[in-house]
Amino acid sequence: MELRVLRYFMMIVQEKNISKAADRLHVSQPTVSRQLKDLEAELGTTLLDRGNRTIRLTADGEYFANQAKQILSLADKTLTNIHQDQDIGSVFVGSAEARSMLTVAQAIGHLNHQHPRVQVNLVSTDAAEIHQQLSSGVFDFGVVMEPVDKTDYDFLRLPGESRWGLLVQSRSALAQQATVSLDDVAHTKLILPQQGGSQRIHDLFGFTQADLDVAATYNLLYNASLLVTAGVGNALGLDGIINTNQTDLTFIPLKPRISSGASLVWLKGQHLSTAAQALLAEIQAILAPTQTHR
């Protein structure tokens, strides 16, 4: 299976039409059709349902497209870093939404000043995706919220903590309170973070899923804020992520105070690229002398 064929396949997926994919690839339609047929024969399955106007992925096609996307991403990153000179390379960082990202952001700024041609690619996502992409080699680093199992990772604790609270509509009765209690949380319709699932909610707040009235879940608080605006419920989340100025939303912190920190993680035993090593060195320099590499 060649990378070129995977690129053909992903272009077909993007365009949903073999002729349009061929035009984008600057090759003939028969060439693309033949490569697709050979790929399906090699895999022993049908990847696409071919309609008169558009094509659709089969269940196997959906799975293969996701895997092909990761393979191509990893291949592109690897080729870039192998062919780099002193100032060329790329780093991929998957990150939860957290104030602690400021340290990483400062390190990226320092790195860019020292090596202007190094590109840092930041992907905002949740812990499950970060773990998966670290394991597959797509991400070099992840920024994850505590508590989290770091058995398979080297890590650096990042400074700063974010306080938990409720994001509510400003016209709601809760918005008139300076703080909210756990009892308030238990008696409102909630939009919960997906990271860590029900176990993390229990560990942090003592609730079980049966204790709560859950309307929806989220992995990025910005999307959750839109649900709050639409009246779906109140979002349990961290402060400092959504700027509520000039909006109809209010963030109310929990009392007693419950906070979470974050850690930078990377796979144990992983050989980091020159660009990734340079970013790690900048982060360590910012954290020194208060922290050391774990």
Q: What is the CATH number of domain 162-259?
A: 3.40.190.290
pTM: 0.68
Instruction: Write down the pLDDT at residue 291.
Output: 54
Ordered by start, the domain boundaries in the chain are: 3-79, 84-159+261-287, 162-259
**pLDDT tens digits along 22-57:** 888 888 888 888 888 888 899 999 999 877 667 888
Evaluate whether 111 touches 282 at the Cβ level (below 8 Å): yes
Q: How large is the average pLDDT for residues 241-263?
A: 94
- pLDDT confidence tier of residue 293, bands split at 50, 70 and 90: very low
84-159+261-287 shares its CATH topology with 162-259:
yes
Structure tokens at 66: 């996701």
CATH class of 84-159+261-287: alpha beta
Instruction: Write down the pLDDT at residue 138.
Output: 86
For the cut 50, the answer to whether the pLDDT of residue 237 exceeds it is yes
What Rg, from alpha-carbon coordinates, does the chain have? 23
Give the whole-angstrom CA distance, residue 111 versus residue 195. 30
Give the whole-angstrom CA distance, residue 33 versus residue 173. 61
CATH class of 3-79: mainly alpha
Q: How large is the average pLDDT for residues 175-183?
A: 96
Q: Give me the percent of the chain exceeding a pLDDT of 90.
A: 46
Q: Please state, in angstroms and as integers, the Cα–Cα distance from residue 100 to each residue in 103, 132, 134, 158, 235, following that order.
A: 6, 21, 19, 6, 20
For the cut 60, the answer to whether the pLDDT of residue 225 exceeds it is yes
